[in-house]
Amino acid sequence: MTQLLHRRLNDPEVQSARAQIPKSRWAKLVFSGMQDASFWESPITCYNPKYSATVWRLQLLAQLGMPAEDRRIKNACERFLEQHVHRDGGFSCGSRKHRTRYSEECITGRMVATLCSFGYQNDSRVRDAIEWLANHQLDDGGWNCRHSPTTSHSSIYSTQMALWGYSALDPNLRGEYRNVIKRGTEFMLRHRLFKSHHTGKIIRKDWLELKFPGNVGYDILHALLVLLRLGVRRDERLSDAHDVLCQKRRKDGRWNLDVVPRHWGSGGPSDCYLQLEREGRPSRWITLNALTVLSQLGLQSCNYR
């Protein structure tokens, strides 16, 4: 209703649909296993194990429109902030009982986006994290979660996560970071979202696989959504990702779920993300996001040029 039909949030039908979200089958699935109405899996860290702990469940609930008024959401957000706000101002993958040496760009970006979706934009802890991201932007315009004196080139994945955080801010606050966002989006566009800016070759073929949720790993669909939310429109450098997306469209107009994100441990694939749909089958969520991309580009079909 809101993304494709552009109905207002105060529309009675939109409000009625929103009220049904906590009662949905998938909401019950995501909330299953929650302990003390505030965390999943571990009481001492919200990050591990991937991809079933509190961080990953919260970001999925935010992406699927779970209302922030639910007390379980508030409890889990507060637990994350209590455990993962680092003294440098960003968010750390390690908890207070398992502290890492520094904050990390990917978790800071993804959790800024998640917490803002749940109404935390004006919380001082989130504001500090937003500022931390700005202060850790590299000279090439992007971000990289690999901290080393020799790290000078940004990571597409880390940059995507940071920009996702900025895309969740309201327009007024986002305007304060206009130059940061512009430099970040230029980095992504320079790489055409998935290619080497030196050779034009595809960096990783799995980035072209459509995942849900796409923000667990990296895929071009989520990258397109984030850039469009940040105001990028008919830039020719979007065309490669757009063309791949359209090549994946089924004859019936829908898109398949190519792969369910999995965490790869040292021994191979381990934890599977919560699976809401079947791999290789039409996906409601990916179809919605793909149609949203076409809509925001002002296209009725896949004819970009």
Tens-digit pLDDT profile for residues 206-252: 999 999 887 788 999 999 999 999 999 889 999 999 999 999 999 99
Residue 48 belongs to domain spanning: 28-190
Looking at residue 134, what is its pLDDT? 98
Q: Is the pLDDT of residue 267 over 80?
A: no
Shared-domain flag, residues 132 and 95: yes
- Determine which of 15-29, 34-48, 261-275 has the lowest per-residue pLDDT on average: 261-275
Boundary of a domain, candidates 162, 190, 218: 190
Q: Is residue 62 part of a domain?
A: yes
Shared-domain flag, residues 76 and 171: yes
Please choose, from the candidates 140, 115, 119, the residue with its C-alpha nearest in 3D space to the C-alpha of residue 130. 115
Q: Is residue 234 part of a domain?
A: yes
Shared-domain flag, residues 155 and 250: no
Boundary of a domain, candidates 190, 218, 239: 190
Q: Is residue 13 part of a domain?
A: no
Q: Is residue 260 part of a domain?
A: yes
Q: Is the pLDDT of residue 76 over 80?
A: yes
Shared-domain flag, residues 41 and 178: yes
> What percent of the chain has pLDDT above 70?
92
Mean pLDDT across the chain, nearest whole number?
A: 91
Shared-domain flag, residues 175 and 231: no
Q: Is residue 219 part of a domain?
A: yes
Q: Is the pLDDT of residue 270 over 60?
A: no
* Mean pLDDT (whole number) for 156-161: 97
Shared-domain flag, residues 123 and 86: yes
Shared-domain flag, residues 119 and 62: yes
Boundary of a domain, candidates 190, 216, 247: 190
User: Torsions phi, psi of 43, nearest 5?
Assistant: -80, -15
Looking at residue 264, what is its pLDDT? 57
Looking at residue 263, what is its pLDDT? 62
Shared-domain flag, residues 37 and 168: yes
Looking at residue 256, what is its pLDDT? 97
* Position 100 confidence tier, pLDDT thresholds 50, 70, 90: low
The answer to whether the predicted template modeling score (pTM) of the entire model surpasses 0.85 is: yes
Q: Is residue 14 part of a domain?
A: no
Instruction: Give CA–CA dist 35/42, Å, rounded.
Output: 9
- Total structural domains within the chain: 2
Looking at residue 289, what is its pLDDT? 95
Shared-domain flag, residues 121 and 94: yes
Looking at residue 52, what is its pLDDT? 87
Shared-domain flag, residues 33 and 175: yes
Q: Is residue 22 part of a domain?
A: no
Shared-domain flag, residues 43 and 146: yes
Q: What is the CATH number of the domain that holds 122?
A: 1.50.10.20
* Mean pLDDT (whole number) for 7-12: 95
Q: Is residue 95 part of a domain?
A: yes
Shared-domain flag, residues 167 and 275: no
Looking at residue 266, what is its pLDDT? 47
Please choose, from the candidates 61, 182, 157, the residue with its C-alpha nearest in 3D space to the C-alpha of residue 105. 157
